Structure 1
Amino acid sequence: MQHEFPVRVYYEDTDMAGIVYHANYLKYIERARSDWVLGMGIDQSALRESEGIVFVIRRIEADFRASARFDDRLTVMTRVGAVSGVRLVLHQEVLRDGELLFSAEVTLVSMTLDGQPVRLPQALRRKVH
């Protein structure tokens, strides 16, 4: 299972040299993850309200390979790496015309609103296995 999410680089995303500021790659991959979950039919707001479950970043390992610039058209690719009871590992890449600019391994955990680990929602587990 692989998800593609388009991103356009706006002026506000760049530094004084016209290069995408490093923290914005994390925003791009966050947007892609949110879109991926929504595309599976999982409403995170409803999940929080009805079951008290939220997804939390546990770990991110990032690799900056090349620079994106103002007005670039990028694609964020997201695919599942591993799934366990409370943990989901995703591999995400940001590409420009097939060139790898940024990659990350993101570990998410599901938690209750008071910060206790809880099993991944069944709807999500069914769709990623």
Structure 2
Amino acid sequence: MHHFPIRVYYEDTDLAGIVYYANYLKFIERARSEWLRDMGIDQSALKRDAGLVFVVRRVEADYLAPARFDDLLTVQSRLHELGNARITMCQKVMRQDRVLFSAVVTLVCINDAGRPVRLPAELVRLMGDASPACN
């Protein structure tokens, strides 16, 4: 499981002082990028050298409790399923031990033409084993 810290800034909040719902998607996007980086996967090089990028195909999200200005959050990310061209991730935004937001995100690897392509074998090797269920 990968952990990524996030501090809630004023710009992340709405008029009520809670995190604006769309910003959770930004938080989990940053965490996925850092998860890949920590595994040694350089997304810029992947695009430049192989013409491959990851795009979000589907997000299933649950907003469970609000985060507020100045909260220190942690995004937990783990691989749930690895297909030929698809990656499914389970992600949670936590404040200490409390889950505030959870999502199951499906990503697809595409080429420069926008077509799904098989994940390179080296990426599959680096990503390792998937977890059987999102909890």
What TM-score results when the alignment is normalised by the length of structure 2?
A: 0.93
Distance in 2 between the 1:51 and 1:127 partners? 17
Residues 1:9 and 2:35 are matched in the alignment: no
The answer for the alignment partner of 1:33 in structure 2 is 32
Distance in 2 between the 1:41 and 1:123 partners? 11
Tell me which amino acid in the other structure corresponds to 1:115: G
Question: Is contact 1:60-1:105 (8 Å) kept?
Answer: yes
Deviation at 1:128, TM superposition (A): 2.2
- The 5-angstrom pairing of residues 51-66 of structure 1 reads 51-66=50-65
Distance in 1 between the 2:126 and 2:97 partners? 27
Tell me which amino acid in the other structure corresponds to 1:109: V
- The 5-angstrom pairing of residues 1-129 of structure 1 reads 2-129=1-128
Q: Partner of 1:22: helix, strand, or coil?
A: coil
Question: Is contact 2:59-2:106 (8 Å) kept?
Answer: yes
Question: Is contact 2:19-2:66 (8 Å) kept?
Answer: yes
In structure 2, stretches of 5+ residues that fail to align are 129-135
Question: Is contact 1:111-1:117 (8 Å) kept?
Answer: yes
Deviation at 1:121, TM superposition (A): 2.2
Question: Is contact 1:42-1:123 (8 Å) kept?
Answer: no
Moved over 3 A (4+): none
Percentage identity across paired residues of the two chains: 59
Q: Partner of 1:36: helix, strand, or coil?
A: helix
In structure 1, stretches of 5+ residues that fail to align are none
Q: Partner of 1:27: helix, strand, or coil?
A: helix
Distance in 2 between the 1:9 and 1:21 partners? 10
Tell me which amino acid in the other structure corresponds to 1:128: M
Q: Partner of 2:5: helix, strand, or coil?
A: strand
What per-residue deviation string (whole Å, max 9, x for no partner) do you get for residues 62-107 of structure 1? Answer: 0000000000000000001000100000000000011000000000
Q: Partner of 1:58: helix, strand, or coil?
A: strand
Distance in 2 between the 1:42 and 1:96 partners? 28
Distance in 1 between the 2:115 and 2:18 partners? 39
RMSD over aligned CA atoms reads 0.7
Q: Partner of 1:35: helix, strand, or coil?
A: helix
Question: Is contact 2:39-2:127 (8 Å) kept?
Answer: no
